[in-house]
Amino acid sequence: MKIQEYQAKQILSKYDIPIPRGQVALNASFVRQIAEDLGEKVVVKAQVLIGGRGKAGGIRLANDPDEAEEIATEMMGMEINGFPIHKVLVEEAVDIKQELYLGIATDRLNASPVIIASSYGGIDIEDAAEEAPEKISRILIDPLVGLCDFQIRGLAVSIDLPRKHWKKFAQIANALWQIYKTNDASLVEINPLVISEENGLIALDGKMTIDDNALFRHPELADLRDLDMENPYEIEAQKYGIAYIHMTGNIGCLVNGAGLAMATMDILKLKGGEPANFLDIGGGAGAEKVSSAFRILLSDTQVKAVLVNIFGGITRCDEIARGITAALAEQKRPQIPLVIRLVGTNANEGYKILEKQNLPVAHSLLEAAEKTIALAGVKK
Ligand code: GDP
Ligand code: MN
The alpha carbon of 78 is separated from its chain's Cα centroid by a whole number of angstroms, namely 21
Residues 6 or more apart whose Cβ sits within 8 Å of residue 2: 49, 207, 208, 209, 210, 229
Pocket test for ligand 1, best of 24, 43, 59 (most atoms within 8 A of CB): 59
CA torsion sign for 150, 155, 158, 164 is: negative
The ligand 1 atom at the shortest distance from the C-alpha of residue 99 is 14
Any atom of ligand 1 within 6 Å of the Cβ of 54: yes
**Which residues share a beta bridge with 343?**
311
pLDDT at 72 over 80: yes
Q: How confident is the model at residue 380 (pLDDT cuts 50, 70, 90)?
A: very low
Pocket test for ligand 1, best of 205, 207, 208 (most atoms within 8 A of CB): 205
Residues 6 or more apart whose Cβ sits within 8 Å of residue 313: 283, 344, 345
CA distance 310 to 91: 53
The 10s digit of each residue's pLDDT in 150-182 is: 999 999 999 999 999 999 999 999 999 999 999
Any atom of ligand 1 within 6 Å of the Cβ of 93: yes
The 10s digit of each residue's pLDDT in 333-375 is: 667 899 999 999 999 999 999 999 898 999 999 999 999 999 9
Q: How far is the CA of 213 from the centre of ligand 2 (A)?
A: 26
Determine the 3-state secondary structure of 277 from DSSP.
Answer: strand
pLDDT at 107 over 50: yes
Residues 6 or more apart whose Cβ sits within 8 Å of residue 171: 16, 17
Q: What is the dihedral of CA 192, 193, 194, 200, to 10 degrees?
A: 170
Q: How confident is the model at residue 8 (pLDDT cuts 50, 70, 90)?
A: very high
Residue nearest to atom 3 of ligand 1 (CA): 53
The ligand 1 atom at the shortest distance from the C-alpha of residue 96 is 26
Q: How far is the CA of 291 from the centre of ligand 2 (A)?
A: 43
Q: Which long-range contacts (CB under 8 A, 24 or more apart) does 325-333 make?
A: 325/353, 325/354, 325/357, 325/359, 326/287, 326/290, 326/291, 327/290, 327/291, 327/292, 327/293, 327/294, 327/295, 327/298, 328/294, 328/357, 328/359, 330/291, 330/295, 331/294, 331/295, 331/298, 333/298, 333/299
Specify the pLDDT at position 228.
Answer: 64
CA distance 10 to 279: 35
CA distance 159 to 128: 13
Determine the 3-state secondary structure of 265 from DSSP.
Answer: helix
Q: What percent of the chain has pLDDT over 70?
A: 97
The ligand 1 atom at the shortest distance from the C-alpha of residue 20 is 23
Q: Is the peptide bond before 143 cis (omega within 30 degrees of 0)?
A: no
Q: How far is the CA of 322 from the centre of ligand 2 (A)?
A: 50
Which pTM does this prediction carry?
0.73
Q: What is the dihedral of CA 346, 352, 354, 356, to 10 degrees?
A: -160
Any atom of ligand 1 within 6 Å of the Cβ of 53: yes
